Structure 1
Amino acid sequence: MGRIALGLAVLLPLITTACATSAAYHPQKDCAAGSAGACVDWGDALAAQGDTQQAESAYGQACQGGIATSCITQGRLLIERGELDAAELPLRKAYLEEFPEAYEALANLHQARGGPENLAIARGLRFEAPAIDKPAAEFVYHYRVDLRGGQGAAMTLNLQPMVFLSRRLDIGFNIAYGSSPLELNGFIGYQHFTSAWAVPYARVMLGGLPGEPPGMGFNYGGELGLKLCLGPIGHLEFAVGSSRGSPLHASVGLGLNAIFLLLAAH
């Protein structure tokens, strides 16, 4: 919820600036008057002119005004000039707001400093960066089709906190119904962040088939899939899997940050 509110707070001054169509709008003067959004525009104009030093100053004012993306831009410009100590403060401001780009930029800073300790910090930041803005818990609804063309559905609660190898490990619960016997499963899986938005995964499942005769209700299986992520909001998911209850199936799913369900429940 904090990152969603932060995103709105970041966008608001930019939207306000974009709507300022008055001929009186002047990015340089409005930046000097205290408009963080105008400072972003003024920094962009200076950067386009090649005046990166003055652009860095404008981005710095936008950073102080609360626009975390400008903190990242300011930090990157300072790194390019070799001013590593000066770059650390704005980058840490964005890092504390959990922007993946800030993790990458801070990693570049530590790499530029060199030495075993800094290089280890840089590796750790790059490992965390693509996962940092993803939800710790998400609810997924899947539409499924089996090998025979039967149609069904599934619902999944997926838990992937940063303490699980920076979201590389996930655990959860799954219920599938429709074309095959009712399945209730638990699972554990591994996710590989090829980028901040593309996340292939593999899972193994163990569970039960409540409708089966006594002694026949044990279920097991696995799934391979790909998540296309949209930061803290959720993801689109494509998967193929097989289990004792549904021998072969394909699915497409929509995952949402579980906090949305908590908000809807209130």
Structure 2
Amino acid sequence: MRTPAWLAALLSLVTVACATSAAYHPQKDCAAGSAGACADWGHELADRGEKQQAEAAYGQACEGGLVMSCITQGQLLMERGELDAAEHPLRKAYLEEFPEAHEALADLYQARGSPGDLEIAEGLRFEAPAIDKPAVEFVYHFRMDSRGSPGTALTFNIQPMAFLSRRLDLGFHAAFGAGLVELNGFIGYQHFASTWAVPYVRVMLGGLPGAPPGLGFNYGGELGLKLCLGSIGHLEFAVGSSRASPLHASVGLGLNALFLLLAAR
């Protein structure tokens, strides 16, 4: 599993904080092999306007595993027109599935300007906000219907990059409350307004196991908003309606299914 961009940045800060002492010297510690010190030294050089020296420092931090430094190095190289040289660090970050790396690599292809490069840039920007999201999620919902009756629901959501870069999703939904139990399948569309805000709409079809004979068919829909935290999961708010529960609102917590599988081992 790839490291989320926000977590990588936090780890970099923690590394620097732990290394800071009276003897800490970014330039010398970078030369001694500290990737965090190289990133700090790059920041100092960039602030002083020494961009090419900063490139080299960020390059050392990149080779030491600090992916955000790979992006910064690539962007500095692009600033002075070194597009071919910029591709290596940007592609290294891209392979780690960072949204920022997809955007930076898209800028590189945009700068090259050929029709084929522009098409690649457009594809990278389409992928960027979805790249770090989990392919499979488990979601627990607390629901309240229009009569004020509480309930719960569970969702198993499948959204791989193969489905239009996670724009399409499908899965299973089970709802429990004051009324009949609902067991539904669904298909939906998600719009990535940003890397963290994802409105969605879903259509549901299923059954009502406890209904009288001939009345067990269920259908409905849901409109919601996910507030995402990278590969960890999301918080979501939704309103929906179905044959069994004509109007309801819900708040849900979604987690990467991989985390739950690891916890269950």
TM-score (norm 2): 0.96
The amino acid that maps onto 1:171 is L
Structure 1 residues 28-53: Cα deviation after superposition (integer angstroms, max 9, x where no partner)? 11001110000111111112222222
What is the CA–CA distance in structure 1 between the aligned matches of 2:50 and 2:90, rounded to whole Å? 21
What is the CA–CA distance in structure 2 between the aligned matches of 1:95 and 1:81, rounded to whole Å? 21
1:59 to 2:35 alignment = no
Deviation of 1:260 (Å) = 1.1
> Secondary structure, in 3 states, of the residue corresponding to 1:19?
helix
Query: In the alignment, is the contact (CA less than 8 A) between 2:4 and 2:98 conserved in 1?
Result: no
Structure 1 residues 85-124: Cα deviation after superposition (integer angstroms, max 9, x where no partner)? 0000000000111011110000000000001100000000
Which residue does 1:108 correspond to in 2? 107
> Secondary structure, in 3 states, of the residue corresponding to 2:244?
coil
Query: In the alignment, is the contact (CA less than 8 A) between 1:13 and 1:36 conserved in 2?
Result: no
What is the CA–CA distance in structure 2 between the aligned matches of 1:187 and 1:4, rounded to whole Å? 30
Q: How many residues align?
A: 265
What is the CA–CA distance in structure 2 between the aligned matches of 1:13 and 1:101, rounded to whole Å? 16
Deviation of 1:10 (Å) = 7.0
Matches within 5 A, 1:11-160: 12=11, 14-160=13-159
Query: In the alignment, is the contact (CA less than 8 A) between 1:197 and 1:230 conserved in 2?
Result: yes
Q: How much is the aligned-residue C-alpha RMSD, in angstroms?
A: 1.5
The amino acid that maps onto 1:84 is L
Which residue does 2:206 correspond to in 1? 207
% identity of equivalent residues: 77
Structure 1 residues 8-66: Cα deviation after superposition (integer angstroms, max 9, x where no partner)? 77755542321223211000110011100001111111122222221111111100111
Which residue does 1:186 correspond to in 2? 185
The amino acid that maps onto 1:37 is G
The amino acid that maps onto 1:92 is R
The answer for unaligned runs of 5 or more in structure 2 is: none
Change (3 A) 1:40 1:169: same
Which residue does 1:255 correspond to in 2? 254
What is the CA–CA distance in structure 1 between the aligned matches of 2:224 and 2:9, rounded to whole Å? 33
Query: In the alignment, is the contact (CA less than 8 A) between 2:4 and 2:231 conserved in 1?
Result: no
Moved over 6 A (4+): 5-10
Q: Which deviates the most, 84-93 or 7-16?
A: 7-16
The answer for unaligned runs of 5 or more in structure 1 is: none
What is the CA–CA distance in structure 2 between the aligned matches of 1:246 and 1:199, rounded to whole Å? 25
Change (3 A) 1:13 1:242: closer
> Secondary structure, in 3 states, of the residue corresponding to 2:101?
helix
TM-score (norm 1): 0.96
The amino acid that maps onto 1:195 is S
Deviation of 1:179 (Å) = 2.5
Change (3 A) 1:9 1:242: closer
What is the CA–CA distance in structure 2 between the aligned matches of 1:242 and 1:8, rounded to whole Å? 37
